[in-house]
Amino acid sequence: EAQVTQNPRYLITVTGKKLTVTCSQNMNHEYMSWYRQDPGLGLRQIYYSMNVEVTDKGDVPEGYKVSRKEKRNFPLILESPSPNQTSLYFCATQTGGGGNQPQHFGDGTRLSIL
């Protein structure tokens, strides 16, 4: 079964404590991305990756890091989380990198930064 798996699904933590949200896919997709979803703002892209070792900033990259050492994994790293990063996060993947392909989403990770 095609899957995009995010972990953890829920996390409550404190300001400044480094955390990593993992994303793994079993579809051999080249393109992976991270979004945050906030009420009234829809989904905003944080970072994306066209393939292994190829990453780039999206619309709201401040405070986040990513890496793409393997094709299947695309972790999102918050080195020093702050309360304004409290949000619902989604990892998405798609085949290729063109805009004509639909994206496949994980079930989301709800982060609360106190």
Binding residues vs other proteins (CB under 8 A):
4, 31, 33, 35, 40-45, 48, 50, 56, 58, 90, 92, 94, 96-103, 105-108
Q: Which is nearer to other proteins, 35 or 113 (CB)?
A: 35
CB of residue 80 to other proteins, shortest distance in Å: 26
Is 45 strand, coil or helix?
A: strand
User: In angstroms, rounded to a whole number, what is the distance separating the alpha carbons of residues 53 and 100?
Assistant: 23
Shortest Å, Cβ 61 to other proteins: 12
By C-beta, is 73 or 95 nearer to other proteins? 95
Q: Which is nearer to other proteins, 14 or 41 (CB)?
A: 41
Closest approach of other proteins to the CB of residue 41, in Å: 6
For other proteins, the closer CB: 19 or 91: 91
Cβ atoms of residues 93 and 32 within 8 Å = yes
For the CA atoms of 10, 12, 16, 21, the dihedral, rounded to the nearest 10 degrees, stands at -10
- Return the structure tokens found at 53: 């070792």
39 token code pair: 């009420």
What is d(CA 13, CA 39) in angstroms, rounded to the nearest whole number?
Answer: 21
- Tell the smallest beta-carbon distance from residue 63 to other proteins (Å): 19
